[in-house]
Amino acid sequence: MGNFRRRAARLARTEVALGLVVLTAVCVLLALVAAVVLGFRHSTNLVNRLDREAEQRLVANYVDRLATTSIAQQKVQLTWDDAYKAVVAGRDMRWADTYLGEFLWSNFHYDRIYLVDGQGQLLRAWHDGRPAAVDAGFAPLGAKVRAELGAMADNRTVFGAMAGTQRLQDTDWPVDAQGRALTRWSKAMIRAEGRPAMMTIASIVPDTDMALLRATPSHLVTVRFFDGAMLAAMRSDLLLRDVSVTVPKASGDHINQTALGDSAGDPVGWLNWRFSARGTEISEQMRPLFIALICFVVALVGSGAAILRVLRRTMSKLREREAGAIRQSRRDPMTGLPNRGYFIHRLERTLARIERQDGMALAVAFFDLDHFKYINDTLGHSAGDLLVAEVATRCRSRLRRDDFIARLGGDEFVVMRVGPVGPGEISRLGRELMGIFAAPFKIDGRTIDVTASCGISWAPQQGTSAADLLRNADIALFRAKQRGRSRWRAFTEEMAQDVHLRREIESELRKALQQDQLTLAYQPIVAADDGRIVGCEALLRWDHPELGQISPGLFVPIAEQAGLMNLLGWWTLGRVLQQRAAWPDIEVSINLSPLQLTSRGFLEDLDLLMRELRAKPQGITFEVTEGVLMEQRAGAFEVLAGLRNRGFGVALDDFGTGYSSLSYLAAFRFDRLKIDRAFVQNIDRDLDAQAVLRAIVALGHTLRTRVVAEGVETLLQRQLVVAAGCEMIQGFYHWRPLSPENLAHVLKQQTARGARSARRASRRKERAA
C-alpha cells in the first residue's frame, strides 16, 4: 500500500509538471499570436501613413512643376527683342493682344492674363485670350502683384544660370555669362474670384539687344484656376482618383489632401483625391490567413501533451549521447589517455582542494620524446603513432595507480601526482619517468632506443594555477633539453629568470633587426707559410644601446627558437655581399644555419638576392656543420650541390665533433675542412690531440681538400698545426675579428707590402744578372 501511494504521488507530480508545461506553452502561443496580429496591424497602419505622405509629396511636387513649366512656356514670347520693343518701349497693345493674350490662351489656356509695368500698375487685361476691361478682376490682385515684384527685385528667382548683374536706372538686373538679360519670375498660390488659383509673374526682356533694357521692364501676370482642365490633367499625370478642390478642408479616411498655401503659409484651398489604402487592402486579404493561424494554434495546443512526451524521450536520449560525447571529448583517441583539456580541468580542481586543505600538495611532470621528428621522418608517421601508444601503455603500467597521466598532443605527456613534494619525492618521480625509457621499444618488428626529457614543477610552492605549473614544468623541460636531453630537471626560480631574459633578448633582437643595430666583424684566415691574409669569416655582432655587447652564443640560439634565424641569415648574407666589394681578392666565409639550408626555396631566394645586388659567387664560401648533414642528409646535399653549381665554395665547419663524418666526405667533396677549435686548444699539451690533428689533415689531403685550423692562439699551437700540414690558420694569434673598415685598411697595407717585396726581389734579380 505504501509503495502504491508513493507511485501515485510520483505520477501526480509528473502530471502536474506536465500540465504546467502545457499551460506555459499555450500562454506562449497565444501571446505569440497576439504579437503577430498586433504587429501586422501596426505594419498596415504604417504602410497607410507612408503611402499617404508619399502621395502628398507627389502632388506638392507636381504643383511646383506647374509653376516652372508655366514660366518656361511664357519665356518663349517674353524673352524677345520684338516683344520688348512693342510692349515695353512702344506700348503697342494691339501687338500684345495678338502675341501675348491670344497666343498664351490658345496654346496654354491661362484663365487670366495681365500686363503690368515695372511698378505693378495694370496696362492690359485678357480674359480667355480676349482683351477685357482695364480693372477686370485685377484690383484684388494689385497689392499681391506689387509685393511679389518687390521681392523679385532681389533676384531670388531667376530663370537660367545667373553670372552677375547689369546696373539699370532703378535696379540691378540679372545677366548670364554672355551678358544676356535673364527672366525674373515669381509664383504664388492665391484666391481669385473666390476660387484657389496659381499666379505667375514673368518679366519681358530682350534676347539680343541688351541696350534696349534701361529700367525695370513690364511683366506678364497669369492666373490659372484649379478647375476642371487642370484637375483632369492632374488625374491623368498622377493616376489619382476623384481629384477636386475645396476651400474648406474636407474630411474622411478615404480622402487624401494637400494644402495650397500662399507665401505666408495660409491655405487658400485644398487639393483632395481618393486615398488608395494599400495597408487596409493587405489586411483584408490576410484576414483568412490569421483565422487559419488561430485554428492551427488551437490544434497545436491540443496535441501539445503528445509532443512533450516525445520531446521528453528525445531529450533523454540526447542526454545519454551528450554524456558519451563528453567522455569521448576528454580522451585522446590514439592512447586512450585524458587529453589536454581534461587534464587542465582535473588539475584546476585538485589545486582548488589544495587551497582548502593544509598540507596537501601535488607535482606536475611534463615530458616529451627526444628526436621524435627524426623518428617520424625515418620510420614514418605510423611508426611514430605506434611509439606514442606504446609510451602511454608503459606509463600506465609502471607509474602509480593514482597518478593522473595525460597526453597533451604529439609526443608530449604530463603526469600529475598528488602527495608530498619534498626533494626525495621529486627525484623519485623523475627517476620513474626516466626508467620508462630504459628499455628499447619494439615497433613494427624494429627495436628502437628512445629517450625522453622531463621537467617537473609542484604546488603550492611553485604555483597555484594550472597555467603556472605547466609553464614552469615546460621551462624545466627546456632546461633538460639544453643540458643534453635524456634527463629530468626540477624547476627553479633561476630558470624562470633565464626564460625572462631569453624573452627580453628575443624582443630586443626583433627591434635590432628593424633598427639596424646589428653589425658584422671579419676574422682573417691566413696562409700557413707566410701569414698572408687569404680569407676571412663573417661574424655577427650585436652592440645593444643599453645591454652592451651581446654574444652570438646567446642570441643566435634564441633566434633559432623564435623563428628569426632565416631573417638573420639573409641579413648577414646581404650585408656581406655589399661590404666585400672593398676586398674582392680574398675569400669570405659565411656560416649557413640549418634552418636556412633546409628551408624551402633557399636557392631560388639566393639567386634573386644575387641579381638584386649584382653580386658574383666567386670568392664566397658557405660553411655548414656536420649536424645539419645528419638531420637533413638528402635535402642538404642537394642544396650544397646547387651552391657548388652556382660557383660558391662549400666548407665543412667544426669537423671532427659530429657524427659519421667520413660518409659525408665520401658523398660530397668540400672545398675546405675546418678543424674544430677543441682539437687545437689541447694540441700543445695532449699528444693524442696532435695525432688526431695529423690524421684529420692527412684525410683532407687525401680527398684533395684544403684544411683550416681554427682557434690558434699561441705560437706553439701555430707551429704544431703547420707541422701537421694545415694550409690555413684562423685564430687570435694572428688576428682578432676586424671591422669592415679595419679589414680593408689591413688588406691595403698587405698589398702595399707585397708590391714592395716584389720590387725588391726584381731589383735583386737584376743585380744578380
CATH number at 539 reads 3.20.20.450
634/662 same-domain check: yes
Alpha-carbon distances, residue 356 vs 67, 351, 360, 417 (angstroms): 90, 9, 9, 18
538/468 same-domain check: no
584/678 same-domain check: yes
Instruction: Output the CA torsion sign for 31, 34, 40, 45.
Output: negative
Domain residues for the domain of 160 are 79-225
Determine which helix (DSSP H) or strand (DSSP E) holds 648, and give its type and residue range.
none
CA nearest neighbour of 206 among 83, 71, 73: 83
In this prediction, residue 660 has a pLDDT band, given cuts at 50, 70 and 90, of: very low
487/529 same-domain check: no
Cα separation of 365 and 491, whole Å? Answer: 10
CATH number at 181 reads 3.30.450.20
145 versus 269: the higher-pLDDT residue is 145
Cα separation of 542 and 520, whole Å? Answer: 9
**Average pLDDT over every residue of 343-362:** 90
Model confidence pLDDT, tens digit, residues 2-21:
444 454 445 445 555 655 66
Give the end of a domain, one of 436, 466, 491. 491
pLDDT at residue 418, rounded to an integer: 93
Model confidence pLDDT, tens digit, residues 687-744:
888 888 888 899 888 888 899 999 999 999 999 999 999 999 999 999 999 999 999 9
Cα separation of 459 and 491, whole Å? Answer: 11
Domain membership flag for residue 477: yes
Q: Which residues neighbour 764 within 8 Å (Cβ) at sequence distance 6 or greater?
A: none
Q: Residue 724 in contact with residue 697, Cβ under 8 Å?
A: yes
680/633 same-domain check: yes
**Average pLDDT over every residue of 270-295:** 71
Domain count, the chain: 3
Planar angle of CA 499, 500, 503, nearest 5 degrees? 85
194/133 same-domain check: yes
405/539 same-domain check: no
Average pLDDT over the chain reads 84
488 versus 138: the higher-pLDDT residue is 488
424/383 same-domain check: yes
**Average pLDDT over every residue of 73-90:** 87
Asked if residue 396 has pLDDT above 80, the reply is yes
CA nearest neighbour of 707 among 723, 686, 687, 729: 729
CA nearest neighbour of 493 among 457, 465, 467, 454: 457
Model confidence pLDDT, tens digit, residues 229-246:
778 877 877 777 778 787
**HSE toward the beta carbon, residue 193, CA cutoff 13 A:** 14
